[in-house]
Amino acid sequence: MLELKGIGASAGIAIAKAYRLEEPDLSVEKKAVTNSEAEIERFAQAVENSKKELEVIKAHALKELGQDKADIFSAHLLVLSDPELLNPVKEKISSESVNAEFALRETADMFVSMFESMDNEYMKERAADIRDVTKRVIGHLLGVEIPNPSLISEQVIIVSEDLTPSDTAQLNREFVKGFTTDIGGRTSHSAIMARSLEIPAVVGTKKATQEIENGKLVIVDGISGEVIVDPSEDAIAEYKAKNDKFLEQKAEWAKLVNEPTVTTDGQHVELAANIGTPADVKGVLENGGEAVGLYRTEFLYMGRDQLPTEEEQFDAYKSVLEQMEGKPVVVRTLDIGGDKELPYLHLPKEMNPFLGFRAIRLCLEEQDIFKTQLRALLRASTYGNLRIMFPMIATVNEFKEAKSLLLEVKETLLNEGHKVSDDIQIGIMVEIPSTAVLADQFAKEVDFFSIGTNDLIQYTMAADRMNERVSYLYQPYNPAILRLITLVIEAAHKEGKWVGMCGEMAGDEVAIPILLGLGLDEFSMSATSILPARTQISKLSKAEAESFKEKILSMSSTEEVVSFVKETFNV
Ligand code: PEP
Ligand code: MG
């Protein structure tokens, strides 16, 4: 038995066999073959096997992820039946007497670069399909298994160095009982996705992939952040009992699923959810979310080879708005950069990606990308209660520029005969200290603020949110952070505007009584945190929380704040 310590990223306990998710080595060498006929047959067999595999994945995707994801695999199947691709490979094998993997790689590369250089979205998508399919067929030819998390059909715990948000989105909850990674923190995006999927997860163990072999029994305790490898009978029994207790607690929370969030003195606050994909809305509704307080649209742009089209985006935004049936949906425009990369944009590597060319900075420069998103958003606006939010705003001018582009796009759409809602609030993330300090000026311009503490804390404390070695400086309860939050809330309320918070702090049980006392209007968090938060708030008095505001703001350290809150509010 071996114990690893990491960061509990998604609550719950899972016990299952380890499944290691690793990028396979698909490098191919050129080899001469003597029997081209047999080589062509070997190629045909690999294509057939890939087709069978794709049929299974497609059926699975249709059931679990919906028609649009299944369509991706239909496109892959089409590629595998296309003589325009298959025949040149066969010809190359026989005319040059080379091995199938080499012939396929050369032929596919030629098509991919040809399609990619065309100024045509459709052809660019075909290039991506060919690349994916080639990987699969080469995997069969080399006898290398391509890990496919969506194909897992027994209960497992995924073990990997890191999980990309798109890997995470593919996990099938029926079989994937938990995951653990070497790197990452509570606010890294794989952790955030794990909470959306309600899969217990421990991230940042530093050595999960080093210590855990495929097939070994593993316990992942997402509450305490522990991972037990090869547990004893006693440890299994202990963790099963801990899990039963957790499930009991969940059942208790579930009683409030259809209730509003009201304090003991009758004050209502809004509990909203953060989502990354339209599929997450189900969890929001099941957990009693009153709104979507943050839709991180960048996940639509990730795990693929080119930008999503206007239509793809329109479908996603419309789906979220429709599913929320008129409840508010705050959609954040593209926030790429930091730990969220888009390799296909070919942006130069930066020394400080979290301080670099990202989010609104990129959108104001690459206006085509931004305008496509705004068009899709505005067209979807008639299907629900849309609010649009710009990320990483540092100056009032950036907001004005972004807003004027939005109005320009709206005008164009109306001229083209599209319908656009007349009632769309436009707000900003407050996640850069300059914006918090100047909140009184911003409050005159925006309809709302949403405080992004994940970034606000890292920028205020100058402590990278991904770096475990400076994580002691990642202090949500530091009075410096609380004073910035207060500046924002007071400035907004003075102008009659509302303030939400969509950083992870909003769902934190120590932060909640403080934020209630500071007057926060909307708390947006991982869906699974909503019911515990509602339970907690329903036992708090807003007037009492407010009475401690000055005292807390005059404290000098995190430790002082935490011990006061724990004692006073029984957290
Ligand atoms: C934040 O910075 O607090 C936030 C909500 O955005 P993200 O975590 O996506 O950077
Ligand atoms: Mg942020």
> Residues 395, 509: one domain?
yes
> Residues 494, 468: one domain?
yes
Mean pLDDT of 51-80: 80
Mean pLDDT of 60-75: 74
CATH number, domain of 205, equals 3.50.30.10
Confidence of residue 207 (pLDDT cuts 50, 70, 90): very high
> Residues 282, 225: one domain?
no
Binding site membership of 534 for ligand 1 (Cβ less than 6 Å): no
Atom of ligand 1 nearest to the CA of 454: 3
Residue of the CA atom closest to atom 3 of ligand 1 = 452
pLDDT confidence of residue 376: 98
Q: For the CA atoms of the chain, what is the radius of gyration?
A: 25
Binding site membership of 431 for ligand 1 (Cβ less than 6 Å): yes
Give the three-class secondary structure for 268: strand
> Residues 218, 345: one domain?
no
> Residues 230, 311: one domain?
no
pLDDT confidence of residue 305: 79
Residue of the CA atom closest to atom 9 of ligand 1 = 296
Binding site membership of 420 for ligand 1 (Cβ less than 6 Å): no
41 annotated as belonging to a binding site for a ligand: no
Distance 355 CA to ligand 2 centre (A): 11
> Which residues sit opposite 425 in a β-bridge?
387
pLDDT confidence of residue 365: 96
Spatial CA neighbour of 522 closest among 312, 326, 360, 292 = 292
Q: Is there a domain that residue 568 lies in?
A: no
Q: Is there a domain that residue 29 lies in?
A: no
In tens, the pLDDT along 379-397 reads 999 999 999 999 999 999 9
Atom of ligand 1 nearest to the CA of 187: 8
> Residues 113, 205: one domain?
no
186 annotated as belonging to a binding site for a ligand: no
Is pLDDT at 184 greater than 90 in this prediction? no
Distance from the first to the final alpha carbon of the chain: 33
Q: Where a domain ends, among 251, 278, 300?
A: 251
Q: Is there a domain that residue 11 lies in?
A: yes
Distance 109 CA to ligand 2 centre (A): 37
> Residues 138, 169: one domain?
no
Q: What is the pTM of this model?
A: 0.76
Domain tally, the chain: 3
Atom of ligand 1 nearest to the CA of 452: 3
Binding site membership of 454 for ligand 1 (Cβ less than 6 Å): yes
Confidence of residue 65 (pLDDT cuts 50, 70, 90): low
Decide which of 122 and 500 is more confident: 500
Is pLDDT at 87 greater than 70 in this prediction? yes
Nearest ligand, CA of residue 450? 1
User: Which residue of 188, 274, 296, 341 sits with most ligand 1 atoms within 8 Å of its CB, as the best mutation to test the pocket?
Assistant: 296
What is the layout of strands, in order, in the sheet containing 217-221? 2-5, 226-229, 217-221, 13-20, 156-160, 176-181, 201-203, 7-10
> Residues 326, 285: one domain?
yes
Looking at beta carbons, which pairs linking 260-268 to residues 24 or more positions away fall under 8 Å? Answer: 260/290, 261/290, 261/533, 261/534, 261/537, 261/538, 262/537, 262/538, 263/516, 263/537, 263/538, 263/540, 263/541, 263/542, 263/545, 264/538, 264/539, 264/540, 264/541, 265/541, 265/542, 265/543, 265/544, 267/542
478 annotated as belonging to a binding site for a ligand: no
Spatial CA neighbour of 24 closest among 160, 129, 151 = 160
Backbone conformation region of residue 4, classed left if phi is above 0, alpha if psi is from -120 to 50, else beta:
beta
Q: Where a domain ends, among 230, 251, 272?
A: 251
> Residues 269, 411: one domain?
yes
469 annotated as belonging to a binding site for a ligand: no
Residue 273 domain boundaries? 260-542
Confidence of residue 68 (pLDDT cuts 50, 70, 90): low
Binding site membership of 222 for ligand 1 (Cβ less than 6 Å): no
Distance 188 CA to ligand 1 centre (A): 9
Least confident span in 23-37, 111-125, 278-292, 510-524: 111-125
Q: Tell me which DSSP letter residue 333 carries.
A: P
Binding site membership of 296 for ligand 1 (Cβ less than 6 Å): yes
> Residues 137, 204: one domain?
no
Number of C-alpha atoms within 13 angstroms, CB side, residue 347?
A: 19
Strand intervals (E) in 243-288 = 270-275
Distance 249 CA to ligand 1 centre (A): 28
User: Which residue of 429, 451, 456, 524 sits with most ligand 1 atoms within 8 Å of its CB, as the best mutation to test the pocket?
Assistant: 429
Residue of the CA atom closest to atom 6 of ligand 1 = 452
Q: Is there a domain that residue 558 lies in?
A: no
Strand intervals (E) in 49-175 = 156-160
Mean pLDDT of 111-138: 82
> Residues 238, 314: one domain?
no
In tens, the pLDDT along 479-523 reads 999 999 999 999 999 999 999 999 999 999 999 999 999 999 999
**Which residues have a Cβ under 8 Å from the Cβ of 544 and sit 6 or more positions away?**
265
Binding site membership of 455 for ligand 1 (Cβ less than 6 Å): yes
| Catalytic status, residue 363 | no
Distance 432 CA to ligand 2 centre (A): 9
Q: Is there a domain that residue 566 lies in?
A: no
Residue of the CA atom closest to atom 7 of ligand 1 = 454
Binding site membership of 283 for ligand 1 (Cβ less than 6 Å): no
Q: Is there a domain that residue 530 lies in?
A: yes
> Residues 372, 499: one domain?
yes
Residues lying with their CB under 5 A of ligand 2, a single-atom ion? 431, 452, 455
Binding site membership of 502 for ligand 1 (Cβ less than 6 Å): yes
Percent of the chain's residues with pLDDT above 70? 97
296 annotated as belonging to a binding site for a ligand: yes
pLDDT confidence of residue 348: 84
Distance 327 CA to ligand 2 centre (A): 23
431 annotated as belonging to a binding site for a ligand: yes
CATH number, domain of 42, equals 1.10.274.10
Q: Is there a domain that residue 206 lies in?
A: yes
CATH number, domain of 534, equals 3.20.20.60
Q: Where a domain ends, among 117, 142, 167?
A: 142
Q: Is there a domain that residue 557 lies in?
A: no
